[in-house]
Structure 1
Amino acid sequence: MQLRGGSSFTPCFSLLVPPYTIVYFPTRGRCEAMRMLLADQGQSWKEEVVTKETWLQGPLKASCLYGQLPKFQDGDLTLYQSNAILRHLGRTFGLYGRHGREAALVDMVNDGVEDVRRRCSWLIHHGDEEGKAKYLQELPGHLKPFETLLTQNQGGQAFIVGDQISFADYNLLDLLLNHQVLAPGCLDSQPLLLAYVARLSARPKLKAYLASPEHVNRPVHGAQKM
């Protein structure tokens, strides 16, 4: 398996280097939510960056369980599917709600994020200017459920579920940050979501990661833009 030179993100606040490895393309894409989660939880990880050329050669793709990336290593545990990886990290770090009821809501939010992410990904890869205009016109409606959930949870002053951060918060934050890059001003009609992004992004460890070259220099979706 030929990978472009591996890299790693080691926060200055991390005392130990856990056996985490992310194998993915040189984009934020499906991995940035898990990167933000790990950084905010004070964890370090290794990056194995897969170039387009390496992927098209075929052997790596053939070795992946579902023929796709990301691939995530936690010691001797290998996982595929980005949402399964997020749920695993949620269980590992206690980011899955305080009880079963909250866990159900966290799952619901994460599924809602996936719905919007798929619409956005389709537009990025297949859309045109007319499709972009239609998508942005409909975006407030797609984001309204998250605004509603914030309203119902401590008046929008806390997290998306309960009073502690969950893996779904990182996934939702990543989705919203990406939209702010791809379509600036898209959250102007969603004041609670706008404040939510600012509040979570100001968490010290997460703020440090978001300001790091590892995040800043990594494109949202490769060379493609909305």
Structure 2
Amino acid sequence: MPGYVITYFPVRGRAEAMRLLLADQGAEWKDDVVPLQKWFAGEVDLKKTAVFGQLPQMKDGEFCLYQSNTILRYLGRKYDLCGSNIKEAAVIDMVNDGVEDLRQKYAGVVYYNREPGPEKYIEELPTHLSPFERLLSQNSKGSGFIAGNKISFADYNFLDMLQNHQHLAPDCLKSFPLMLAYLDRMTSRPKLKTYLESDTRKNCPITLKDVK
């Protein structure tokens, strides 16, 4: 039996970065899918017992965690994906926080119809993506990872957000050659590629709005 259980809605959402990490590290997990209608109707006991009343939840054996970025950092520590010293760890945390800022902007448009609308957001997207291109340029002239020359938990979060934005705006990376090359390197990693090409992944909607 897999040691990890990810409890979440039938979407990629905030659980996907941890799935990418586990897949790339060769770990097995079980997805415990919570039906949306039952969750929003208050028919799921977990909604009352979850620490902050939110998902995803991840169990590692008997150990239980909430908050997606906390779970990523936990897995990062477990699989040595947090840098080799305190300064590298700080940079990785910084980058992951930057990805979270971008995720919040993305969610505001995709989920909550906040201003600016999708068209304006896509128009302004190069401004939001430029810092990540600069970060990549600082690592082996763009041939490394998002926070150094060794993969970190932030890379899986970043990969997820890049793919989400490509779904929203397919040409959004055309002026960012380092990010395009990075995306190709990440998705070509053998174990990660196997997961990305699996039916389980392909058939899983990106957001709640994509659920039929």
1:74 has 2:60 as partner = yes
Q: Which residue does the alignment assign to 1:52?
A: 36
> For residues 176 and 115 of structure 2, what CA distance do their matches in structure 1 show?
23
Q: Which residue does the alignment assign to 1:148?
A: 134
1:65 has 2:13 as partner = no
1:160 has 2:141 as partner = no
Out of 79, 89, 96, the residue aligned to residue 103 of structure 1 is 89
Letter in 1 for 2:145: F
SS in structure 2 at match of 1:67 = coil
Q: CA deviation at 1:203?
A: 0.3
Query: Scaled by the length of structure 1, what TM-score is found?
Result: 0.89
> For residues 205 and 2 of structure 2, what CA distance do their matches in structure 1 show?
26
Contact 2:76 2:153 in 1 (8 A): yes
1:33 has 2:17 as partner = yes
Q: CA deviation at 1:75?
A: 1.1
Q: Which residue does the alignment assign to 1:22?
A: 6
> For residues 31 and 219 of structure 1, what CA distance do their matches in structure 2 show?
12
Q: Which residue does the alignment assign to 1:123?
A: 109
Contact 1:125 1:224 in 2 (8 A): no
Q: CA deviation at 1:137?
A: 1.2
Structure 1: any 5+ residue segments left out of the alignment?
1-16
Q: CA deviation at 1:129?
A: 9.9
Query: Scaled by the length of structure 2, what TM-score is found?
Result: 0.94
Contact 1:71 1:80 in 2 (8 A): yes
Q: Which residue does the alignment assign to 1:132?
A: 118
Letter in 2 for 1:136: I
Q: Which residue does the alignment assign to 1:219?
A: 205
Structure 2: any 5+ residue segments left out of the alignment?
none
Q: CA deviation at 1:56?
A: 2.2
Contact 2:6 2:56 in 1 (8 A): yes
Q: CA deviation at 1:18?
A: 4.0
Q: Which residue does the alignment assign to 1:188?
A: 174
> For residues 26 and 172 of structure 1, what CA distance do their matches in structure 2 show?
21
SS in structure 2 at match of 1:184 = coil
What root-mean-square deviation, in Å, do the aligned CA atoms of Structure 1 and Structure 2 show? Answer: 1.5
> For residues 126 and 40 of structure 1, what CA distance do their matches in structure 2 show?
32
Q: Which residue does the alignment assign to 1:86?
A: 72
Contact 2:136 2:145 in 1 (8 A): yes
> For residues 114 and 40 of structure 2, what CA distance do their matches in structure 1 show?
26
Letter in 2 for 1:140: P
Q: CA deviation at 1:77?
A: 1.0
Q: 1:152 to 1:49 in 2, by over 3 A?
A: same
Q: CA deviation at 1:125?
A: 1.6
Q: Sequence identity, in percent?
A: 55
> For residues 111 and 210 of structure 1, what CA distance do their matches in structure 2 show?
24
Contact 1:90 1:167 in 2 (8 A): yes
Q: CA deviation at 1:60?
A: 2.3
Q: CA deviation at 1:190?
A: 1.1
Aligned length: 209
> For residues 172 and 129 of structure 1, what CA distance do their matches in structure 2 show?
23
Q: CA deviation at 1:149?
A: 0.6
Contact 1:124 1:224 in 2 (8 A): no
Contact 2:20 2:192 in 1 (8 A): yes
Letter in 2 for 1:135: Y
